Copies of this chain bind each other. A is one copy, B any other.
Amino acid sequence: MFLGRVVGEVWATKKAQDLVGKRLLVVEALDERREPGAAKVTPVVAADPLGADIGQHVVVAFGKAARVACGGDGDFAFEAAIVGIVDDFDVPSAPASWRLDPRAARRGGS
| Size class of the A contact interface (CB-based, 8 Å) | 35 or more
Contacts of A61 in B (CB 8 A): 16, 77-80
User: Which residues on the B side are within 8 Å of A63 (C-beta)?
Assistant: 63-64, 79
Task: Determine whether the beta carbon of B31 is less than 8 Å from that of A78.
Answer: no
Closest B residue to A98 using CB positions: B39
Min Cβ gap A105→B in Å is 11
A2 touches B42 (CB 8 A): yes
Q: Report the nearest B residue to A63, measured CB to CB.
A: B79
Which parts of A53-110 form the interface with B (CB within 8 Å)? 54, 57, 59, 61-69, 73, 75-81, 83-95, 109
Q: Which residues of B contact A80 (CB under 8 A)?
A: 1, 61
Tell me the complex Cα distance, A16–B67, Å: 11
Chain B: CB-nearest residue to A79: B65
